[in-house]
Structure 1
Amino acid sequence: MLTFLSTLLFFGCLTGVTTVLFGFGGGFVTVPVVYGVLAATARQGADAMHVAVATSAAVMVVNAVAAALVQWRESRLRRAYVWPLAASIAVGAGAGSFAAALIGGTVLRLLFAAYLLVTITDSLLRKGFLSVAHRTHPKPLGRGTTTLGGIGIGLVAAGLGVGGSVMTVPLLRRRGLPMAEATAMANLLSVPVAVAGTLVYALAPTTPAGAGQLGYVDLTAGAVLLLGSLPTIAVVSRVTGRVPDRVHSVAYLVLLMVVLIVMVAMGV
């Protein structure tokens, strides 16, 4: 048991790094890790993926808020891009969370891997992600993007417990924003996704609910992950603005590739 708690603590620290640098809020790290721990300890059985997604959403609420507050003090948040998307993302997140609770664990894992693969391919093949021309005034978001696009982001992100960074960061990059600002806003935009997902999964009936669980949310795993992530967020936030934009965007894609490989190795 101590080994698994140490594993969660270590990856909690890694979650803090990815939250600040990439706007993930933790989902792309916590989902595979919690799923792997549950599978290794033979807990939850077929519900392991649902518990992993639910726990990821709960951890993401705290991580995303903590990171967003720090980045707000650093003046990296632009209201013109955040608020139009936030409401529609929240709507999509509620629907996505309900849908995910009805989908089998195997299908959910396959969707998670497919989501990663499509995002990586799109970012590599389409211009505008790995590098953007410096713009004093980045392009504004269109009405269709802030409504239908926001709902789509919320649906996918809440359903997979990943916060939406992989959709919002490329979107904001292609509007001409630097990685530091795009990832900062991805954290804030992850909050409605995480809140909606946590509420739905926490109130969902499980068969049966395990010890230390609130619905599908594993409270013990979530607490240990946060014990590692919150101090890390405070430390890493001091250096994130110093990372060169090109290095930042390449590192973002490399991390997505690592997560995809891990998911495939775990039997997606």
Structure 2
Amino acid sequence: MLLLVLLLVGFAVGLATVLFGFGGGFVTVPVITVVDAGLGGDAVRVAAASSALVMVVNALVATAATRRDVLDRLRGRHALLALLAVGGAAGALAGRFAPDALLRWGFVLYVGATVVDLVVRPGFLRPAVAGRMALPGRATGLPTALGLPIGTVSAFLGVGGSVMTVPLMRRAGAPMPVAAALANPLTAALAVPALVVALLARGASPAANGLVGGVDVRSAVALLAGSLPVVVLLRRRPPRIPDAVHAGGYVVLLVAAGATVAVVG
């Protein structure tokens, strides 16, 4: 029964990866927190580490299936990708030793603050100025210097970088499909080193069946089995969704993820 639930949730993870660029972080953290609730306070730590595995695979597959003209916007942004990777490793290592309450409520507060910002401040759900144009050429709206803090915070909480990168690109004029597509390679850049740290540095994570380092591999693989077919299919045949509805769905998913982790806590 649990396997079926994880496969169904994996389907939702695939949708989140393609439509919102999450790579799965905002879905997998709440779900694995529930699955591993028997670990007590360590559940959210294991969930954050396990989400890195799901994010890496989903983000890489989604990136491989993304149109080249979209990915060209990241050409020459090696410094940004490098800083994301450094931040991802640092955040994941810090998360291995952080108190569980800090990880859990940090996740909830992070999501809550983001939702308020997206709803109240113009530029995400509604244009900041009339007649906003899409990002031209290879622009992304992401300053290189932000790579380090984005990578660190994202890996520390296990949420992936899209919650920062997608709003920044939206406010620079990117439509949701472009922002979500570019969020996948950016997420992969920070999630790969975060995953390596999670596998090698147990830190305060418990010793339990099914864990490799701090990663619940069995749950992560089940989620991937449900998500990967969706990622491949929808990247090849993306659905056409009105931009306002697309952006609204992003906010709704953030609310659901934060509420789940808060309730489980």
Verify same fold: TM over 0.5: yes
User: Shift of the alpha carbon at 1:125?
Assistant: 1.5
**CA root-mean-square deviation:** 2.0
Q: Percent identity?
A: 44
Question: Does the alignment pair 1:235 with 2:233?
Answer: yes
Pick the aligned partner of 1:76 from 70, 77, 101. Answer: 70
Per-residue CA deviations over 1:95-139 (Å, capped at 9, x if unaligned) read: 111111111112100000011011111111111111341236279
Deviates more, 1:129-138 or 1:155-164: 129-138
Q: Paired residue for 1:62? A: 57
User: Unaligned stretches of 5+ in structure 2?
Assistant: none
Q: 1:139, 1:175 within 8 Å by CA — same for their partners in 2?
A: no
Q: 1:95, 1:155 within 8 Å by CA — same for their partners in 2?
A: yes
Q: Paired residue for 2:224? A: 226
Q: 2:22, 2:160 within 8 Å by CA — same for their partners in 1?
A: yes
Q: 1:81, 1:140 within 8 Å by CA — same for their partners in 2?
A: no
Q: Paired residue for 2:187? A: 190
SS in 1 for 2:209: coil
Q: Paired residue for 1:175? A: 172
User: Shift of the alpha carbon at 1:254?
Assistant: 1.1
Give the residue type in structure 1 aligned to 2:99.
G
CA–CA separation in structure 2 for the residues paired with 1:94 and 1:12 = 25
Q: Paired residue for 1:246? A: 244
CA–CA separation in structure 2 for the residues paired with 1:169 and 1:231 = 23
Per-residue CA deviations over 1:125-169 (Å, capped at 9, x if unaligned) read: 1111113412362794689x212x111100111111111100000
Question: Does the alignment pair 1:103 with 2:91?
Answer: no
Q: Paired residue for 1:89? A: 84
Provide the aligned length of Structure 1 versus Structure 2: 259
The two structures have a TM-score, normalised by structure 1, of 0.90
User: Shift of the alpha carbon at 1:49?
Assistant: 1.1
Q: 1:163, 1:194 within 8 Å by CA — same for their partners in 2?
A: yes
Question: Does the alignment pair 1:200 with 2:208?
Answer: no
Q: 1:76, 1:184 within 8 Å by CA — same for their partners in 2?
A: yes
SS in 1 for 2:70: coil
The two structures have a TM-score, normalised by structure 2, of 0.91
Q: 1:57, 1:198 within 8 Å by CA — same for their partners in 2?
A: yes
CA–CA separation in structure 2 for the residues paired with 1:121 and 1:245 = 19
